[in-house]
Amino acid sequence: MAEAGTGFLEQLKSCIVWSWTYLWTLWFFIMLFLVYILRVPLKINDNLTTVSMFLNTLTPKFYVALTGTSSLISGLILVSTRYTNITLQFNFVIQNRISGFIQINRYLKYYCNLGEIHYCVFLFMTECKVWRNPLNLFRGAEYNRYTWVTGREPLTYYDMNLSAQDHQTFFTCDTDHLRPADAIMQKAWRERNPQARISAAHEALELNECATAYILLAEEEATTIVEAEKLFKQALKAGEGCYRRSQQLQHHGAQYEAQHRRDTNVLVYIKRRLAMCARKLGRTREAVKMMRDLMKEFPLLSMFNIHENLLEALLELQAYADVQAVLAKYDDISLPKSATICYTAALLKARAVSDKFSPEAASRRGLSTAEMNAVEAIHRAVEFNPHVPKYLLEMKSLILPPEHILKRGDSEAIAYAFFHLQHWKRVEGALNLLHCTWEGTFRMIPYPLEKGHLFYPYPICTETADRELLPSFHEVSVYPKKELPFFILFTAGLCSFTAMLALLTHQFPELMGVFAKAFLSTLFAPLNFVMEKVESILPSSLWHQLTRI
């Protein structure tokens, strides 16, 4: 099936080559026509007047017809190229993705019966699913401080709306109306106004020790990490009590089970944020211990991706053996990948060779086995997310990461580089190795939207989703670059130039005749000079015979 898309591309290339050949052939015959006009006598200057008269006799209708024909041809080529590209993408989605995706989830089979368009829409929604950023910052202590200093909003409405949906999913349940404080918080998570949410949290605390109220205040009202940690500790005390009570009643009915699930989510969230507070305050070893204990206590709650927080903290401690152990568990073919996993694996392999790596020496003697492994790991990481290297190499400026990310997108690249750039700088030569090798990935994958090397083809929807997640003042990284072929640009420029000449000739015929005469005299001046030299060197009789031939 992959050959179908390749065949279309070959046909497109063939059409472009034939069109290009046709234009050059046409231009060649035009030059032959000019040479025919100027062939006798050999003095080219004597015929410039004839050429000028010929150009002056052309009516405006000729130029209008010439402009219209060239514009029509250019438009047909542009439309056909665009239609072919859309057909290629559509056929690839239908032919190459449908079978593999149905094997993953058999419940999608009925989409095939509803038609190809319905399946494409569903596939678009699946590929563009956003994920909670495991290392998201605190709104009050970090995002709001940025707004106070710069006057810019680092979070988009779409991103904050997704967070509100997450909070309602994790921190509410159907039995909240039975408890007044939880009922108030259920409404608070739906409020759009931050001050209204904070006021509701204080109102809930006046009624009872509510863990979710402390969470909201720690996230949005606390202006420093120290204040946030203090509020999270109070939330932990209240959350542990609710968790123990609901744990004893979880088997008494569906409502109790839902309440226990909510209390579990609250407790895990609090402990994870406390570990992040410890990491931000410099108590990294304490943060690592808290994360390890949390992963052992709740091994099934992988939705929070706590292992990515653990990897970042271990890299800060330079505990590379422990980092490798975590990667061995989570960098598995059956588990979903992320930029953190792929680029951390590349960093560890680059660390083994980067301090002695030299591009000149490698080009002379070739790459060693260890260097080849490091380069392959970098290529694997770049294929998964091609936006990351520009941030690591500081070719693009960083911004605060959003609260949600799109895997393989620019938002994930920002979130990774924001926290891991320091770890790459700490490894001597790692950024140099990345700089020398990362662009080689694109030569391995000439058509990333159609076929990948180690991963699925790059999704076509990342740019649109990232523009919703990232603030407007950030220039979203686009991959692959949407560049028009040179043939289209050349045709458009040629048609525009022809139209301009036609308009000028129609408005100023005498002036354009003078200009054409001057241009042709300048163009043929070297040839005229050569012909005069040849006439002076060759005998007149021989030259006369050659002209007759």
Q: Write down the pLDDT at residue 547.
A: 61
The label of the residue with tokens 């006799």 reads: 57
The label of the residue with tokens 């770890």 reads: 423
pLDDT score of 486 more than 80: no
Burial of 120: CB neighbours in 10 Å, binned 0-12, 13-18, 19+: middle
pLDDT score of 260 more than 70: yes
Give the number of C-alpha atoms closer than 13 A to the C-alpha of residue 494, restricted to the C-beta side.
Answer: 18
pLDDT score of 106 more than 60: no
- Examine residue 370 and state whether it is found in any structural domain, yes or no: yes
User: How far apart, in Å, do the first and last CA atoms of the chain sit?
Assistant: 59
Return the DSSP state at 445: -
**293 and 415 share a domain?**
no
**162 and 301 share a domain?**
yes
Domain, as residue range, for 240: 133-317
Q: In this structure, what token pair is assigned to residue 395?
A: 């070719």
pLDDT band, very low/low/confident/very high, at 548 (cuts 50, 70, 90): low
Chain segment 82-98, per-residue pLDDT in tens: 555 555 444 444 344 33
Q: Write down the pLDDT at residue 370.
A: 87
pLDDT score of 126 more than 60: no
**458 and 504 share a domain?**
no
Cβ-contact 237, 199 below 8 angstroms = no
Give the number of C-alpha atoms closer than 13 A to the C-alpha of residue 176, restricted to the C-beta side.
Answer: 23
| 141-145, 311-315, 530-534, range with the lowest pLDDT | 530-534
Distance CA 500, CA 102 (A): 55
Distance CA 313, CA 324 (A): 13
pLDDT band, very low/low/confident/very high, at 5 (cuts 50, 70, 90): very low
- Examine residue 60 and state whether it is found in any structural domain, yes or no: no
Element (H, E) at 131: strand 130-132
Q: In this structure, what token pair is assigned to residue 185?
A: 């918080």
Q: What is the largest CA-CA distance in the chain?
A: 119
Chain segment 164-182, per-residue pLDDT in tens: 999 988 888 888 777 888 8
The residue among 513, 352, 479, 356 whose CA lies nearest residue 406 is 479
Give the number of C-alpha atoms closer than 13 A to the C-alpha of residue 10, restricted to the C-beta side.
Answer: 6
- 3 state SS of 405: strand
- Examine residue 355 and state whether it is found in any structural domain, yes or no: yes
Distance CA 204, CA 215 (A): 12
pLDDT band, very low/low/confident/very high, at 118 (cuts 50, 70, 90): very low
pLDDT score of 216 more than 80: yes
Distance CA 1, CA 454 (A): 18
**161 and 271 share a domain?**
yes
Cβ-contact 517, 51 below 8 angstroms = yes
Return the DSSP state at 528: H
**253 and 397 share a domain?**
no
**255 and 360 share a domain?**
no
C-beta neighbour count of 11 within 10 angstroms: 11
**254 and 371 share a domain?**
no
C-beta neighbour count of 447 within 10 angstroms: 16
- Examine residue 42 and state whether it is found in any structural domain, yes or no: no
pLDDT band, very low/low/confident/very high, at 539 (cuts 50, 70, 90): low
Give me the mean pLDDT over the 340-350 stretch. 93
**472 and 507 share a domain?**
no
Q: What's the chain's average pLDDT?
A: 77
Distance CA 400, CA 110 (A): 42
Q: Of the spans 93-97, 265-269, 453-457, which averages the highest pLDDT? A: 265-269
**392 and 525 share a domain?**
no
pLDDT score of 100 more than 60: no
pTM over the 0.75 mark: no
**467 and 457 share a domain?**
yes
User: Which residue, 274, 302, 317, sits at the end of a domain?
Assistant: 317
Q: What is the signed CA dihedral for 83, 89, 94, 99, rounded to 10 degrees?
A: 160
Q: Write down the pLDDT at residue 520.
A: 74
Q: Write down the pLDDT at residue 293.
A: 92
* Percentage of the chain exceeding pLDDT 70: 71
Distance CA 37, CA 44 (A): 10
pLDDT band, very low/low/confident/very high, at 198 (cuts 50, 70, 90): very high
Distance CA 190, CA 212 (A): 13
- Examine residue 194 and state whether it is found in any structural domain, yes or no: yes
Q: Write down the pLDDT at residue 82.
A: 56
Give me the mean pLDDT over the 191-201 stretch. 91
Q: Write down the pLDDT at residue 221.
A: 92
Q: Give the number of domains in the chain.
A: 3
Of residues 129 and 12, more confidence is placed in 129
Distance CA 178, CA 180 (A): 7
Distance CA 265, CA 243 (A): 10
Chain segment 35-67, per-residue pLDDT in tens: 544 444 444 455 556 656 655 665 666 666 666
Distance CA 53, CA 47 (A): 10
Distance CA 57, CA 155 (A): 66
- Examine residue 58 and state whether it is found in any structural domain, yes or no: no
Give me the mean pLDDT over the 211-226 stretch. 93
**235 and 279 share a domain?**
yes
